[in-house]
Structure 1
Amino acid sequence: MPSTVALALLALTALWALKIFRQSTRNLAAAKASGIKYTWAPFLLYNNAYMLACIVIVPIVRCLPKSWTEPWFDMTLVDWEWARRYEPFKRFGSDTFMVVTPERNVIFTADADVISQLTTRRNDFPKPLELYESLRLYGNNVVTSEGQLWRHHRKITSPPFSEKNNHLVFAETLAQCQDMVDSWMDGEEESSKTIHTIADDAMRLSLHVISRGGFGVPLKWPTKTKATENGHVKGEEGNTSSASVSKGHTMSYADALGSLLHSLFPLIIVPKFLLRNLPFQWAKTTYTSYDEWGDYMKEILQAKKSAVLTGTEGDNLDLMIAMIKGAGNTAESASKGEASRQTLSDDEILGNAFIFILAGHETTADSIHFCLALLAINIAAQRHLQSDLDEIFQGRPPSQWDYDQDVPKLFGSMAGAVMNEELRLIPPVIGIPKSTAKGSPQTLIIDGKKCTVPENTLITLNTTATHRNPNQWPTGPPSDPGHPTHPLSNRDNDLEEFKPSRWLLDPNSKASTTNIPNQDNNINTEASTLGVNTSADTSSSLYRPPKGAYIPFSEGYRSCLGRRFAQVEILTVLALIFSQYSVELAVDAYASDEEVEKMSEREKREVWEKAKREVERQMREDMGTVITLQLRKGSIGLRFVRRGRERFDW
């Protein structure tokens, strides 16, 4: 009997090995025929089993001679795009290359021209939906759909992302940001204490803005209140605007949403029925937040649907109301008995609501966090920003700021340059996936040569490398050649450095048409029906990279719906904070406040340089992704001081 089992296992192993061999041979032959430079790897990066096994595999492989594992191994690890940046493309001698694996071939590109082809030909290079299954937590949505279904979702979810909504985003961001800054200052007139919660506070701010601008649900900045014995302040039924718990719920709206977003990883990988029954507190909290926020959104959906069907919604055009109307629910249809024939189900409306909360808070919050940190270690850029803000606002308080008058100026000023440069250096998503369908190979022009992308190939638009590609970005010499910003990538130029000035055109010249990327006529023709914004990501008064070279919001048909929403929010935060305050690195780890006060300028510079090097290390080595690129270890300590009261100013 044991011998029979052993033989069966041996036979299964042999069949598996034969299958792997045949797949490898087929994929390698396709790569050779493609005309695209390639390398080989035994593992597919996007295989979930391999990612889990990396805990064991990585230490073993690291013990092997590098000549055995270069160049393939690092490109099978999660977040290699951030760790290696442009270096692999330089090593391969091409801005597009293929990795051949037994399971599936993968193409990585940092070539602006190739990216333009891929994003323009959406039917030839669809989104690989199998990588997005985990984002259907509440229902199918605009991110997890393709083809005609995607067109349908896109048409319905586009209308609220309008200039009218951007006015609301501007006003809400001003209010929320002022509350955030007030909480940092904690009654102090001149200087805050060291703040280590910038990332969390930026997340809270963005959640509040998207909740108000997207769903008409106002959320208040937390204040010091006494909790009841069960840890919550009890409130009235239906109250979602504070920390109170509504009738029929066990968590407040804000707590449920915050907990849900902090628990995405277990929600993505653990089946719901298992999560509900696991005997661990983290599992119970995670499932409860998932269930509670879903119930809150169902209540909001039903209330708004009722208002729309009775014609009492007013002139509000938040995301939820727009989806309800776009799905065919109107007072007129109700009067004709057609309300039940909606073209988006309630689950799909909730699915889109979740995806916009998810996409609308993390990406913007991360950008705000990193803008503040980067400006703290680049004092000259911060002073330039403050000078531009003084010129724009002329001493007017935030209560007198005007969206139509001031926001266009912010886009074209140092504020816009800071935002663009932060998004260039730290894009929210380090890889944008595309693919070719089974049985559908596609041609691409790569380096001026016609190549064939094999069927069933994954394609990644490597945003990190694209934004650092010296073949498509103007470069200057590195600031400190003896101490390069990154140990591997762009050691001979300044593309790894935070230099907002690279976006500023010659003040004596006007933006020329050569700086404006050409728009695809086919996209423009269809844009009106799909709500695709084909305008450039940057102001015409700033530098405009070649089409496909700057893709923090992707590009083409599948570009981010909330791009302007996010940009307005980021610019508003920069304007409010830096018109009143300066942000400084905390040096607590190296000297006390009393010691800093007694230091000479040289000594202050030395301690500040130590803090700067540590922040640069954190932003290079302690970053990682679950959905977006964030600081995953520790925190960056910052202080906010009234302008004119800076301790470090050079």
Structure 2
Amino acid sequence: MLSTIVLALLVSLTLYALKIYTQFARNLAAAKKSGIPYVIIPFYQLNRLYQLSQLFVVPIARKLPVSWTEIWFDLTLEWGWARRYEPFKRFGTDTFLTVSPERNQLYTADANVISQITTRKTDFPKPLEVYESIKIYGNNVVTSEGQVWRHHRKITSPPFSEKNNHLVWTETLEQCQAMVNGWFDGNTGKTESKTIYTLADDAMRLSLYVISRAGFGVRLQWPGTGGTHANGHVKNEEENNTSSVGNAQKHTMSYTDALGSLLHNILWVLIVPPFLLKHLPFQRTKESYTAFVEWGKYMNEMFQQKKATVLKGEEGDSMDLMVALVKGAGITKESSTGEKPPAQTLTDEEILGNAFVFILAGHETTANTLHFCLALLATNIAAQRHLQADLDEIFQGRPVNESEYEEVIPKLFASMAGAVLNEELRLLAPVVGVPKSTLKDSPQPLELGGKTCTVPADCYIAIITPAVHRNPNQWPTGPPANPQKPSHPLSNLDNDLEEFKPERWILDPDAKHAASMPDQEADTEASHLGVNTAADTSAALYRPPKGAYIPFSEGYRSCIGRRFAQVEILAVLALIFSLYSVELAVDAYASDEEVGKMNDQEKFEVWSKARDEVNRQMNEDMGAIITLQLRKGAIGLRFVKRGKERFNCNAR
């Protein structure tokens, strides 16, 4: 009996090994035939079992002789952010394949290759299996392809218009002012705020409130701003932020708490099926499940409210996302002739799925960009002063919230404000790897370095954004600020592409005065789908080669809400830096009293320590969980009224 079991086990292992060898031989043959440089690796990076076993595999592999692992090992890990352009330079190519027994994978940092992949949408579709986890409420514009995607895209695009961007502008300014007032404890006469370590959370709240208002028509109150009952008593935040959505008596969490908890625990919700999440005995999983259920209930109530409004013809000219989803799904005003209404073209689940994905995609990415813009400007005082000078020119002493949106937005896009936004997104694009693929049994030709190559069938493609944005073959470069102290230990040691230098985008300092918004490219199909084909950057600023700058992806699948996000971020930069300066907190190195007694050199030394720590955090403590963000610790900043700055260390 035992010998039979052993024999069966040996046969099974032999068959499995034969299967692995056969798959590997097939993949290797395809790579050799492709004409694309390739590296052989033992593990497919995206294999779930390998990802789960990395806790054990990585320490063992690190103990092996370096000569055995140096070529391939890091390519089996999530290396896009950690290594950036270094692997491409090491292999001497901007596009290469990795060959494993399970699947071939193509990595690229080549603008021309990216342009080909993103424009040939049917040849290089999204690998939908990567997006299965975000279908928790229903299929949506992100998790679909082909005709289904076209249908979702056409329905979801109307709210992302210039008319709605005007609302984004005004709502952002109002919420941002409330946020700043909170930093100063509501005392507008104070010259400086306390040290702020909650900027990441505050930016998340700001972004959430803006998308709730401009995307869903839900007005949320910043904590401390209040509101009043009919009897004159001040409402608390929960009352303000629950009563505007659904029936508060049906819920165990406020709308804000439900959404905040859902986003905070998003990994649990995405990875663990709801039926299992409900029964896990941990406090975190219980909170995650409750938030998942509660926010779903809020969205469903909002959907039913909007549906009833549309059926009665009472929505007016409202173009928030939920109204667009209701109307786009074929739900229209009841006919007075008794005519049968058209069939609903989006299911209720698909409507809720789209609502969720827009909150998820539009909230965290914008918040992180705001957070990093402020932190980077605090480390580069010269750039901050340049930004403030441009804002002074644009607004001419007028309050930002009293300026006409149509007049100032093109100028902001074309000024240092636009350059700061572009440079932050170049360095810290929200998505580290943009996924594409080839279909099974469908290899695809690709022009690579002047010759035609072939991307193997069933090949996973990763466009490595940090490498694309730092590729010295397609970006102008200058010398590093300090060759003895490089900005990154591996990538671009001989140039400045790892450094925050928004001035690299400025071509003509006076061009902002006559600037206009980027024009749409002529593309009938794109216009029909509501795809914005205008450039990501102002024509007055540097325009990278097509495919070299992809913070919002590229082509037809580019981010539908990019202009929404750009307007929101520019509004925050304009409001804050027209009135305030942002400084690094030096609390860990000196007290306020000690700083007050320092001379310029001593201030520079203590400020430099704080700058070096922030630079370390933004290299070593960052990580991608859905989007790139600070995974450990917090960056301390202080906001001071202009003219009251303590540090002018690197201002020119």
Scaled to the shorter chain, the TM-score interval is over 0.9
Match of 2:204 in 1: 203
Q: Give the SS at the match of 1:192.
A: coil
Q: Give the SS at the match of 2:98.
A: strand
AA paired with 1:206? S
1:135 to 2:134 alignment: yes
Distance 2:134 2:112 in 1: 30
Distance 2:519 2:238 in 1: 54
Match of 1:255 in 2: 257
Give me the TM-score of the superposition, normalised by structure 1: 0.95
AA paired with 1:438? K
Q: How do 1:506-545 and structure 2 match up within 5 A?
A: 506-507=508-509, 524-545=523-544
- Given that 2:241 and 2:255 are in contact with CA atoms closer than 8 Å, whether structure 1 keeps it comes out as no
AA paired with 1:443? P
Deviation of the 1:4 alpha carbon: 2.7
Distance 2:200 2:352 in 1: 27
Match of 2:371 in 1: 369
Deviation of the 1:10 alpha carbon: 2.4
Distance 1:361 1:236 in 2: 20
Q: How do 1:313-392 and structure 2 match up within 5 A?
A: 313-331=315-333, 336-339=338-341, 341-392=343-394
Name the CA shift for 1:626/1:452 in 2 (closer, same or farther; >3 Å). Answer: same
AA paired with 2:209? H
Match of 1:152 in 2: 151
AA paired with 2:642? R
Name the CA shift for 1:167/1:336 in 2 (closer, same or farther; >3 Å). Answer: farther
Deviation of the 1:473 alpha carbon: 0.5
Deviation of the 1:50 alpha carbon: 1.2
Q: Give the SS at the match of 2:67.
A: helix
Match of 2:438 in 1: 436
Match of 1:577 in 2: 576
Deviation of the 1:8 alpha carbon: 2.3
Match of 2:221 in 1: 220
* Greater Cα offset, 9-18 or 148-157: 9-18
Match of 1:73 in 2: 73
Equivalent of residue 243 in structure 2, options 227, 239, 245: 239
Match of 1:6 in 2: 6
* Greater Cα offset, 340-349 or 306-315: 340-349
Q: Give the SS at the match of 1:247.
A: helix
- Given that 1:517 and 1:544 are in contact with CA atoms closer than 8 Å, whether structure 2 keeps it comes out as no
Distance 1:600 1:354 in 2: 53
Distance 1:558 1:237 in 2: 33
AA paired with 1:239? S
Q: How do 1:89-488 and structure 2 match up within 5 A?
A: 89-188=88-187, 189-223=190-224, 235=239, 239-240=243-244, 246-331=248-333, 336-339=338-341, 341-488=343-490
Measured against aligned partners, the alpha-carbon deviations of 1:487-509 in whole angstroms (never above 9, x if no partner) come to: 11111111000000000003478
Measured against aligned partners, the alpha-carbon deviations of 1:90-140 in whole angstroms (never above 9, x if no partner) come to: 111111000111111000001000001001000000000000000101000
Distance 1:354 1:36 in 2: 39
- Given that 1:237 and 1:246 are in contact with CA atoms closer than 8 Å, whether structure 2 keeps it comes out as no
Deviation of the 1:367 alpha carbon: 0.5
Distance 2:89 2:309 in 1: 58
Measured against aligned partners, the alpha-carbon deviations of 1:620-644 in whole angstroms (never above 9, x if no partner) come to: 0111011000000101000000111
Name the CA shift for 1:507/1:641 in 2 (closer, same or farther; >3 Å). Answer: closer
Measured against aligned partners, the alpha-carbon deviations of 1:321-367 in whole angstroms (never above 9, x if no partner) come to: 01111111111568654446110111101100000000101110010
Measured against aligned partners, the alpha-carbon deviations of 1:229-276 in whole angstroms (never above 9, x if no partner) come to: xxx9875997146xx981110000000000000111111111211110
Q: Give the SS at the match of 2:201.
A: helix
- Given that 2:410 and 2:512 are in contact with CA atoms closer than 8 Å, whether structure 1 keeps it comes out as no
Give me the TM-score of the superposition, normalised by structure 2: 0.95
Distance 1:234 1:577 in 2: 27
AA paired with 1:411? F
Q: Give the SS at the match of 2:46.
A: coil
Match of 1:86 in 2: 85
Distance 1:508 1:162 in 2: 28
Name the CA shift for 1:613/1:325 in 2 (closer, same or farther; >3 Å). Answer: same
Distance 2:327 2:510 in 1: 49
* Greater Cα offset, 197-206 or 13-22: 13-22
Measured against aligned partners, the alpha-carbon deviations of 1:360-399 in whole angstroms (never above 9, x if no partner) come to: 0111001000000000000000000000001111111133
Distance 1:375 1:82 in 2: 21
Name the CA shift for 1:638/1:304 in 2 (closer, same or farther; >3 Å). Answer: same
Deviation of the 1:282 alpha carbon: 1.0
Distance 2:370 2:237 in 1: 30
Q: Give the SS at the match of 1:490.
A: coil
Q: Give the SS at the match of 1:277.
A: coil
Distance 2:387 2:420 in 1: 8
Name the CA shift for 1:237/1:489 in 2 (closer, same or farther; >3 Å). Answer: closer
Q: How do 1:9-28 and structure 2 match up within 5 A?
A: 9-28=9-28
Sequence identity of aligned pairs in percent? Answer: 67
- Given that 2:241 and 2:254 are in contact with CA atoms closer than 8 Å, whether structure 1 keeps it comes out as no
Deviation of the 1:529 alpha carbon: 1.1
* Greater Cα offset, 443-452 or 178-187: 178-187
Distance 2:250 2:376 in 1: 45
Q: Give the SS at the match of 2:545.
A: coil
- Given that 1:623 and 1:632 are in contact with CA atoms closer than 8 Å, whether structure 2 keeps it comes out as yes
Match of 2:47 in 1: 47
AA paired with 1:194? T
Distance 2:489 2:133 in 1: 35
Distance 2:519 2:474 in 1: 13
Q: How do 1:553-592 and structure 2 match up within 5 A?
A: 553-592=552-591
Match of 1:229 in 2: none
Distance 1:344 1:569 in 2: 29
Distance 1:121 1:93 in 2: 26
AA paired with 2:86? E
- Given that 1:511 and 1:541 are in contact with CA atoms closer than 8 Å, whether structure 2 keeps it comes out as no
AA paired with 1:435? S
1:34 to 2:34 alignment: yes
Deviation of the 1:402 alpha carbon: 1.7
Distance 1:239 1:316 in 2: 20
Name the CA shift for 1:314/1:577 in 2 (closer, same or farther; >3 Å). Answer: same
Consecutive unaligned residues of structure 1, counting only runs of 5 or more, are 226-231
Distance 2:57 2:260 in 1: 34
Distance 1:9 1:593 in 2: 71
Distance 2:418 2:520 in 1: 21
Distance 1:508 1:204 in 2: 35
Q: Give the SS at the match of 1:138.
A: coil
AA paired with 1:498? F
Distance 1:236 1:393 in 2: 33
Q: Give the SS at the match of 1:167.
A: helix
Deviation of the 1:456 alpha carbon: 0.2
Residue-pair matches, total: 635
Match of 1:228 in 2: none
Q: Give the SS at the match of 1:106.
A: strand
Distance 2:67 2:337 in 1: 74
Deviation of the 1:7 alpha carbon: 2.6
Q: Give the SS at the match of 2:493.
A: coil
Q: Give the SS at the match of 2:262.
A: helix
Measured against aligned partners, the alpha-carbon deviations of 1:438-496 in whole angstroms (never above 9, x if no partner) come to: 01110000011100111000111111100000110011111111111111111111100
Q: Give the SS at the match of 2:193.
A: coil
Measured against aligned partners, the alpha-carbon deviations of 1:289-330 in whole angstroms (never above 9, x if no partner) come to: 000000000000000001001101111100110111111111
Name the CA shift for 1:44/1:599 in 2 (closer, same or farther; >3 Å). Answer: same
TM-align CA RMSD = 2.0
